[in-house]
Structure 1
Amino acid sequence: MIGPRLLRIIALITGLTALAAALPSFAAGPASQQSIRIGVVAPLSGPFASGGSSFLEAATLAVEQANEAGGVLGRRIELVVADSQGRVETAKSETMRLISRERVFAIVGAYLSEETIGAIEAATAARKILIVPVAATAEITDGVKRDYPRYRYVFRVSYSIPQWAAMMAEFLRQHQAKTYAFVGAGIRWNRELAGALKRSLAGHGIVPVYEAFYSPRNPAFEPVAVAATAASPDFLVLGDPGKNSISFVKRIREGGSVVPILSVGGSLGDERVASTLPLSGPLYVQAAAWKGSTDAATRYVEAFAKRFGYSPVGYSDTLPHDAVAVLLAAIRSAGRQDTDAVISALEKGAFPGVAGTYRFDASHQAAWGAGARDLHGTVIRWEKDGSRIVFPRR
């Protein structure tokens, strides 16, 4: 039996095909008949399909909005979709297929840090631009610093692990925490985030009193929940963005603990999920953008909800939209569909998006956090009547 999630993905891909076929070209002449083809690599099947489908929805909305506004350089934009399945080798081979067979100009992807590294190797070997909207491991932009000629094609709009940790550390400092417990899924970026957060807080007298990682495929919540509660932290930092985080929060609250929880976001940012959670203790959720955080964010949330029937959680269903929008703006700024010209535009330009204005540093990392001009992220607190933005202080 085909589940509702798979049906939604099939319907979305079918809709993209129909949209590309139906939209007119926007300028006269033979060249204008060609679309600008953008590849999207995301897990549309397997254990990470939920995040992958919202990733695709965000990218789809960006393309629809661009085409409704007349396209780019007189051409319509066409998404070409690839399913990474959340696997490194599949992400790499699908990226190669998009480049060699589908003839995409650039790629937006992938989702997990591990699979994104595979996509990077394929894209850079073919000298194709890759915009990373979600994956956070430092290795993604370290390559640009280490070997610019090879990796100059890679840009990241999402925050890096150190930036993410710095934003979380600032929140914990503002809430005068002295101790915290870190619980995450046993995946690469969660382990990296735990280490980066510890380093960010080391000079501020805030120390971890417990750290654990459960299996994302077969999680054992009970011993972790018991041990985390017994450590009596001022805050519980929850690094897992997936559905397992919902079960873990319920287990913590059902055990009687009211410890404040700071989540990296994802599933716990879904208002449909929040309505099912016990709010006996504070539940804070991080996001790149949220309704009310900026005018652009409010417009995006309303447009997304109208198009897909639910409100975005502000990360994997938001940053892919900005990744596509930034790429298209850079093509427009370059004035032609030329890789070198678009890279130059990305390196020199400032690009408005849902979360703020994107500017890339020498490693092609978007500037996020306290020292950034525009990209600060946000933290909301779930309450009985909905969400309230609590960070940054306003």
Structure 2
Amino acid sequence: MKKVFMFLMVVVLLFSIAACGEKTSSGSKDKIRIALTAPLTGNQAKYGESFKNTVSLACKQWNDKGGVLGRELELVINDSAGDSAQAASVAQKVVSDSSIFAQVGDFSAPCSMAAQPIYDAAKMIQIAPTCSAVTFARGSKWSFQIVGNQVLQGRFMAQWMFDEGVRKVAMLYLNNDWGVSVKDYVGDIFKELGGEVVLQEPYSDGETDFSAALTKARDANPDALFIASYYNDGAAICIQRANLGWEIPVYNPGTVYSPEFLEIGGSAVEGVLTNVGFFPDDPGPAAATFVEEYKNLYKSDPDYYGACAYDAFNVLVEAIKRAGELDNEKVREEIAATDYEGVTGNITFDENGDALKTYIKIIVKDGKFTAYR
């Protein structure tokens, strides 16, 4: 009987130690792990590098202040390569790792949306900093975006063109989910304002010869050319437009807001008009420290999309702090209730999880991005 009693005491003791270990896992000894998924290789790698830099800076800033909930933050960085199938594969890996609490990323709409059903099924929070597709945030209660959706951005760009006296526009667009969405919303809203869309011409990812599309656009006799592209394609299209000798106002979404757009395009991108929600040459109070610390660390200016990723990480961690625990439902509720002054401006969310944003007009002038008028 005495042996049985001793055995039971040992079992109770071991159980108590195990229970303490479980309790410690939500205490100061374990890190809070957050996944970051971005295109670190492939055609969109410069955007991925920007994501990695700004989110790493945000993580460091939190940890320098003691972390959150008494725990250090740790980034788990994954490469989607800008490929939807790889983004879905990464999502499977992330949700299979029980130590990861939430996900920031991806950069593009196709990658973010390919991964979304996987995060949704796992009830994992997914904040896609720059996914502007209208169907994204409303596709899952666990999904949020920072950049603002295509309705907001499309109205801004369409109104800007119309206010500048543009009445006929030709549009070239990347033929993927994002490019089609940009084309549809800018074009439809421009027509609602009373303008005419004289051409909508798609091009494929990886295409390098735009001469035929540009000739068609020129022959349509528009007042302006709108190009829904990333910085590399946008620069190439502008170079080939200049080679045709076609002088016309050019508008692009903020996806061309990158130093590489200026480097690749050179004089051919002079005068290009675009929009951003963050401009490091004229930062608001919340952004000034971010710009200074980023320059000190990386010896370059942060770009708009990196700034969105920085805000996405901070919105998530602030929500964890307010929730007071790592409970996905509670943290999700806190994100939905966000009223945060970020480096890209004030961030609140509508009922779908779309950020409500304002934008800044930018022009390429003397080889630099400059505030427009």
Give the TM bin, normalised by the shorter chain: 0.7 to 0.9
Structure 1 contact 258–282 (Cα < 8 Å) conserved:
no
* SS in structure 1 of the partner of residue 304 of structure 2: coil
| Range that drifts further, 285-294 or 192-201 | 285-294
2:188 paired with 1:199:
yes
| 1:299 to 1:227, Cα distance in 2 relative to 1, 3 A | farther
Structure 1 contact 245–268 (Cα < 8 Å) conserved:
no
- The one of 281, 293, 298 equivalent to 1:303 is 293
1:294 is matched with 284
| 1:357 to 1:221, Cα distance in 2 relative to 1, 3 A | same
Residue identity in the other structure for 1:305? K
- The one of 62, 75, 78 equivalent to 2:74 is 78
Structure 1 contact 279–383 (Cα < 8 Å) conserved:
no
* SS in structure 2 of the partner of residue 184 of structure 1: strand
Structure 2 contact 224–251 (Cα < 8 Å) conserved:
yes
2:228 paired with 1:239:
yes
| 1:272 to 1:263, Cα distance in 2 relative to 1, 3 A | closer
| 1:206 to 1:298, Cα distance in 2 relative to 1, 3 A | farther
Q: How does 1:1-394 map to 2 (within 5 A)?
A: 31-101=27-97, 103-143=99-139, 151-270=140-259, 273=262, 277-278=266-267, 282-291=271-280, 292-315=282-305, 317-368=306-357, 376-384=358-366, 386-390=368-372
| 1:290 to 1:268, Cα distance in 2 relative to 1, 3 A | closer
CA distance in 1, matches of 2:287, 2:199: 35
Q: Please report how far the alpha carbon of residue 300 of structure 1 lies from its aligned counterpart in structure 2 after TM superposition.
A: 2.8
| 1:171 to 1:303, Cα distance in 2 relative to 1, 3 A | farther
| 1:30 to 1:96, Cα distance in 2 relative to 1, 3 A | closer
* SS in structure 2 of the partner of residue 301 of structure 1: helix
CA distance in 1, matches of 2:292, 2:85: 37
Residue identity in the other structure for 2:121? A
Structure 2 contact 315–338 (Cα < 8 Å) conserved:
no
Unaligned runs of 5+ in 2: 1-23
Deviation per residue, 1:68-107 (Å, 9 max, x gap): 2221122111100111222223212212212222621100
Structure 1 contact 326–352 (Cα < 8 Å) conserved:
no
Q: Please report how far the alpha carbon of residue 326 of structure 1 lies from its aligned counterpart in structure 2 after TM superposition.
A: 0.5
CA distance in 2, matches of 1:256, 1:234: 15
| 1:196 to 1:81, Cα distance in 2 relative to 1, 3 A | same
Unaligned runs of 5+ in 1: 1-27, 144-150, 369-375
> Between the two proteins, what is the percent identity of the paired residues?
24
| Range that drifts further, 115-124 or 306-315 | 306-315
Q: Please report how far the alpha carbon of residue 218 of structure 1 lies from its aligned counterpart in structure 2 after TM superposition.
A: 2.5
Deviation per residue, 1:298-341 (Å, 9 max, x gap): 443333232223223312x2211110011011111112221111
* SS in structure 2 of the partner of residue 32 of structure 1: coil
CA distance in 2, matches of 1:276, 1:133: 26
| 1:268 to 1:336, Cα distance in 2 relative to 1, 3 A | closer
Q: Please report how far the alpha carbon of residue 280 of structure 1 lies from its aligned counterpart in structure 2 after TM superposition.
A: 8.3
CA distance in 1, matches of 2:338, 2:138: 21
CA distance in 2, matches of 1:280, 1:351: 35
Structure 1 contact 288–377 (Cα < 8 Å) conserved:
yes
| 1:54 to 1:91, Cα distance in 2 relative to 1, 3 A | same
* SS in structure 2 of the partner of residue 94 of structure 1: helix
Give the total of aligned pairs: 349
Q: Please report how far the alpha carbon of residue 267 of structure 1 lies from its aligned counterpart in structure 2 after TM superposition.
A: 4.0
* SS in structure 1 of the partner of residue 46 of structure 2: helix
Structure 2 contact 85–114 (Cα < 8 Å) conserved:
yes
* SS in structure 2 of the partner of residue 365 of structure 1: coil
TM-score of the superposed pair, with normalisation by structure 1:
0.82
| 1:379 to 1:93, Cα distance in 2 relative to 1, 3 A | same
| 1:269 to 1:51, Cα distance in 2 relative to 1, 3 A | closer
CA distance in 2, matches of 1:281, 1:40: 34
| 1:106 to 1:280, Cα distance in 2 relative to 1, 3 A | closer
CA distance in 2, matches of 1:189, 1:272: 19
* SS in structure 2 of the partner of residue 259 of structure 1: coil
CA distance in 2, matches of 1:138, 1:29: 38
Structure 1 contact 266–313 (Cα < 8 Å) conserved:
no
CA distance in 1, matches of 2:167, 2:283: 28
* SS in structure 2 of the partner of residue 123 of structure 1: helix
CA distance in 1, matches of 2:330, 2:98: 22
Structure 1 contact 285–379 (Cα < 8 Å) conserved:
yes
Structure 2 contact 144–354 (Cα < 8 Å) conserved:
yes
* SS in structure 1 of the partner of residue 68 of structure 2: coil
Q: CA RMSD in A?
A: 2.3
Structure 1 contact 42–84 (Cα < 8 Å) conserved:
yes
Residue identity in the other structure for 1:222? S
CA distance in 1, matches of 2:26, 2:57: 27
